[in-house]
């Protein structure tokens, strides 16, 4: 049975890659008119570049598999959001808010910021970041610009209702807040249960704000397996376990509450659909079953904050590494996780439906 599953997973991964290569060349309209992205370094594509922060990576070897160009993406190639955009049928990558000008914003904008979180203070120990509240303020500006372009408020809202919204927050509220007691007091004030509740209460307001700005198709990505990233293991130790268990336990408490929030939003708003993407579950499988051989150490040599040291040569074969640096998965992993959020591979990957069905929904 285990062997059979392994074969199936490998076959699935191979057909997926073939499928993605194939769709890259296809023209035609995307499945949704626009795609807006809110998130952290997993999907940041350059918004932190002009900021005064250590959380920026617009230097080599970042982007080595992105035409060799460092763009501010925190890995060797495409992010999950880049790949999702391709799966949705967009010809071009959704531009970062920082540089997006003119008509391109009609196809969507990426507001994501490395080290950012649900809480405003999250990530501040690294310098400036764009927390979710500010990402939403930036989106409000985009909505005004789109309304001006279409010269009709009703038409603009109808247009924005059809778009897909990616929201992936929370990882840094743990990694760059709760689990850094030398900089933050949250762990002194809250138990993991109370902290997750605080985060969810704030997230509910933020997602409601997004709804009020016209979002009707919203994919919310849960917190990933943060206890298994090289940074967590090397900095905190695992006490004989495979990963830092208390990190993963805290993430799971948050994710369980997030699923309830998705249920709550779906029952409150009839003409909208919110889905949960189980990043934790998708990231929990055995990576060796899909061809990865290096699991616990990043591909590039890293500095004291877990980012690649500028201009040092990274590993040769990036497709066999799970991690690019101490925090971020390689493009090869992004390809698998983005694809499973788009078309669920296991029923538990997305809830209640996957992104492909969300995009096609007639609301």
Ligand X SMILES: *[C@@H]1O[C@H](CO)[C@@H](O)[C@H](O)[C@H]1NC(C)=O
Angle at 230 between CA 229 and CA 233, to 5 degrees: 90
For residue 15, indicate whether it is catalytic: no
* Total chain residues near ligand X (CB under 6 A): 10
Rule CB under 6 A: is residue 155 a binding residue for ligand X?
yes
Q: What are φ and ψ of residue 58, in 5° steps?
A: -85, 55
d(C-alpha 248, C-alpha 280), whole Å: 9
Rule CB under 6 A: is residue 154 a binding residue for ligand X?
yes
Identify whether the C-beta of residue 75 lies closer than 8 Å to the C-beta of residue 38. no
Residue 237's region, left for phi above 0, alpha for psi from -120 to 50, else beta, is left
d(C-alpha 59, C-alpha 56), whole Å: 9
Rule CB under 6 A: is residue 319 a binding residue for ligand X?
yes
CB of 291 to ligand X, least distance (A): 5
Cα 137 to chain centroid, rounded? 19
3-state SS record for 216-280? CEEEEECCCCHHHCHHHHHHHCCCCCCCCHHHHHHHHHHHHHHHHHHHHHHHHCCCCEEEEECHH
Q: Which is nearer to ligand X, 208 or 296 (CB)?
A: 296
Rule CB under 6 A: is residue 313 a binding residue for ligand X?
no
Within a 13 Å sphere around the CA of 157, how many CA atoms are in the beta-carbon half? Answer: 7
Q: Which of 236, 291, 352, 357 binds ligand X (CB under 6 A)?
A: 291
CB of 290 to ligand X, least distance (A): 10
Binding mask 237-256 for ligand X (x = CB under 6 A): --xx----------------
Rule CB under 6 A: is residue 320 a binding residue for ligand X?
yes
Rule CB under 6 A: is residue 268 a binding residue for ligand X?
no
For residue 139, indicate whether it is catalytic: no
Q: Which is nearer to ligand X, 89 or 291 (CB)?
A: 291
Q: Which is nearer to ligand X, 13 or 100 (CB)?
A: 13
User: Among 40, 41, 139, 339, which one carries the catalytic annotation?
Assistant: 41
CB of 182 to ligand X, least distance (A): 18
- Positive or negative CA dihedral for 21, 22, 28, 32? negative
Q: What are φ and ψ of residue 321, in 5° steps?
A: -100, 135
Q: How far is CA 37 from CA 14, 20, 112, 193, in A?
A: 27, 21, 6, 28
Q: What is the largest CA-CA distance in the chain?
A: 62
CB of 110 to ligand X, least distance (A): 27
Rule CB under 6 A: is residue 33 a binding residue for ligand X?
no
- Positive or negative CA dihedral for 59, 65, 68, 70? negative
User: Among 40, 113, 328, 341, which one carries the catalytic annotation?
Assistant: 328
Rule CB under 6 A: is residue 158 a binding residue for ligand X?
yes
Instruction: Count other C-beta atoms under 10 Å from residue 18's C-beta.
Output: 10
User: Among 40, 173, 325, 349, which one carries the catalytic annotation?
Assistant: 325
Q: Which is nearer to ligand X, 101 or 151 (CB)?
A: 151
Binding mask 115-134 for ligand X (x = CB under 6 A): --------------------
Rule CB under 6 A: is residue 137 a binding residue for ligand X?
no
Single out the segment in contact with ligand X by CB under 6 A; choices: 125-133, 139-147, 185-193, 312-320. 312-320
For residue 341, indicate whether it is catalytic: no
Q: Which is nearer to ligand X, 99 or 193 (CB)?
A: 193
Q: Which of 99, 103, 193, 317 binds ligand X (CB under 6 A)?
A: 317
CB of 240 to ligand X, least distance (A): 6
Within a 13 Å sphere around the CA of 195, how many CA atoms are in the beta-carbon half? Answer: 25
Q: Which residues belong to the active site? A: 41, 325, 328
Interacting residues with ligand X (CB under 6 A): 152, 154-155, 158, 239-240, 291, 317, 319-320
């Amino acid at each position: 049975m285990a062997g059979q599953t392994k074969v199936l997973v490998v076959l699935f991964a191979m057909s997926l890659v073939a499928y993605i290569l194939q769709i890259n060349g296809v023209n035609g309209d995307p499945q949704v008119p626009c795609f807006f992205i809110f998130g952290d370094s997993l999907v940041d594509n350059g918004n932190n570049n002009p900021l005064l922060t250590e959380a920026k990576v617009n230097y080599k070897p970042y982007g080595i598999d992105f035409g060799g160009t460092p763009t501010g993406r925190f890995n060797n190639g495409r992010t999950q959001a880049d790949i999702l955009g391709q799966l949705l049928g967009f010809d071009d990558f959704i531009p970062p808010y920082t540089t997006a000008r003119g008509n391109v914003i009609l196809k969507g904008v990426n507001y994501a910021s490395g080290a950012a979180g649900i809480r405003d203070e999250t990530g501040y120990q690294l310098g400036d970041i764009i927390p979710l509240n500010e990402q939403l303020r930036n989106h409000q500006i985009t909505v005004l610009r789109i309304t001006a372009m279409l010269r009709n408020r009703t038409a603009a809202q109808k247009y924005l209702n059809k778009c897909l919204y990616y929201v992936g927050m929370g990882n840094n509220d743990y990694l760059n807040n709760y689990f850094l007691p030398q900089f933050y007091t949250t762990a002194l004030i809250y138990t993991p249960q109370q902290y997750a509740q605080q985060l969810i209460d704030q997230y509910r307001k933020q997602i409601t704000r997004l709804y009020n700005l016209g979002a009707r198709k919203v994919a919310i990505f849960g917190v990933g397996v943060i206890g298994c990233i090289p940074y967590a293991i090397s900095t905190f130790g695992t006490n004989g376990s495979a990963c830092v268990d208390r990190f993963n336990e805290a993430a799971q408490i948050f994710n369980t509450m997030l699923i309830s929030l998705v249920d709550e939003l779906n029952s409150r708003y009839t003409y909208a659909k919110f889905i949960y993407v189980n990043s934790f579950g998708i990231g929990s499988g055995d990576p060796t079953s899909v061809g990865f051989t290096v699991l616990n150490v990043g591909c590039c040599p890293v500095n004291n904050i877990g980012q690649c040291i500028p201009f040092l040569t990274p590993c040769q074969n990036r497709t066999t590494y799970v991690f690019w640096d101490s925090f971020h998965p390689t493009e090869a992993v992004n390809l698998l996780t983005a694809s499973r959020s788009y078309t669920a591979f296991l029923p538990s990957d997305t809830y209640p439906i996957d992104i492909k069905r969300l995009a096609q929904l007639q609301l």
